[in-house]
Every structure is written in C-alpha cells, then in structure tokens.
Homo-oligomer: A and B are copies of this chain.
Amino acid sequence: MNITTNQDLIAQLEWRYAVKKFDSQKKISEQDWKAIEKSLLLTPSSYGLQPWKFILVQNPNLRAELTPISWNQSQVAECSHFLVFASKNQIDEAYISKFIALNASTRGMPPEKLAGYKKMMVADLVTGGRSKTISDWATRQCYIALGNLMTTVAVMGIDACPMEGIEPAKYDEVLNLLGSGYQTCVACAVGYRSAEDVSAKLVKVRFQSEEVFIRK
C-alpha cells in the first residue's frame, strides 16, 4: 500500500474489478484480514444501528453447498475469504435499548441523556412507517458496508467480487439464519485474482461524467 496522492487512490479504484477467477492458492494474511474486519465494523449506518451480521464462510463443505445456489460461480469456493451480508429484518425496542446502552457505556454517559435519540429511533423504526420496511432499510445499510469493503480492499491491493447472483432464501437455510432475525442480502468473495482471469484485462465500462453528474 502506498497511497499518497489522489492519483494513487484512483489507480487502485481503476485496478479493482469484479474478479471472475480467484487464485485459490493465495490467501489473505491474518493481519490483512483483521484490518478488513475492522473496516467492516467501522462502516457507517443509519443512526449508527449496524443492522447486520457479516458471515465469514471458510468451511469448504459449506462453500461447496453454497456454490449451486450462487449460479455455480467458482468464486465462492476459490476465493480466500467468503463473506455473506445478512440484514436485520425487524427492529424492536429491545434492540434499540441495547444500542443505547452500548452508546452510553462507550461514551461514559447516563442512558437517560440519550432518551431523545432513542425516542426518535423508536418512532421511526419500531412504531413508525419505516417499521414495515425494515429489511429494505437494513439491506441498504449492508450495501454501504459492501461499498466500504470494496473500496477498502482495493486500497489494500486485495481483490473482490461482489455477488448479487445468489439465492438468499436458500443461503438462509444453509447458513442457519432462519428465525435468527437476519436474512442474507448479498455476498462478496475476497482474495487474489488468478493470473488466468482474462477479465482482469478488460477496460472498465463507465458512462461519461457529463452523463452521470447533474450540476445545480
């Protein structure tokens, strides 16, 4: 890693691509993986509520079970680390109270001081209109984590392949998520590209800036 200029940073974002074939022999070091986990933990989320679980699947038998329910994509088995993002499907007052308690203890203040913050979250997510669409809301938060992950690993010079082409309901069964309050929303294979992955050489396809940005 040697990011000292804007150009260095952009070069890494240009370098990344959705890996089609990983080098199954090349593993992310423990130290790098720890940094990746830390960056995931630090992901910003709505109200700071972190409505997610990050499931790291390293068991080869489980990876083999997930492959056919992932459009048979080889990345599931071949990547160094396979992450599944599960989003919370309901927010109750207990969850918010737990978060408030964590907030108060982390910041060394009495939970009563956070009563207004708590009330606002309950009114929005537990009793308000958004309570009906918690899994959509939580899934969007997971996508912030996915975006953060892809940029973080690109900066580190580590490859990834985001995977929406999975069968979430079947993932939930295999990963034992049924009844857990969390459900699979997306996955991401992380590791190192194979030298044989021809897609690494393809030019990135992006609309022109003028087409994407509206200036007001």
Contacts and interface: CB of A to CB of B under 8 A. Distances in A.
A112 B53 CA distance: 42
By size class, the interface of chain A is 35 or more
Interface stretch (A37-45, A72-80, A189-197): A37-45
Interface of A: 1-10, 13-14, 16, 18, 31-32, 34-35, 37-44, 46, 48, 50, 52-59, 62, 86, 99, 102-103, 106-107, 136, 139-141, 143-152, 155-156, 162, 164, 175, 202-207, 209, 212-216
A148 B4 CA distance: 18
Contact of A106 (B56, B147, B175, B203): B203
B58 A215 contact: yes
A133 to B, nearest CB: 9
A202 to B, nearest CB: 6
B10 A53 contact: no
A35 B11 CA distance: 11
Most chain B beta-carbon contacts within 10 A, residue among A18, A38, A44, A102: A44
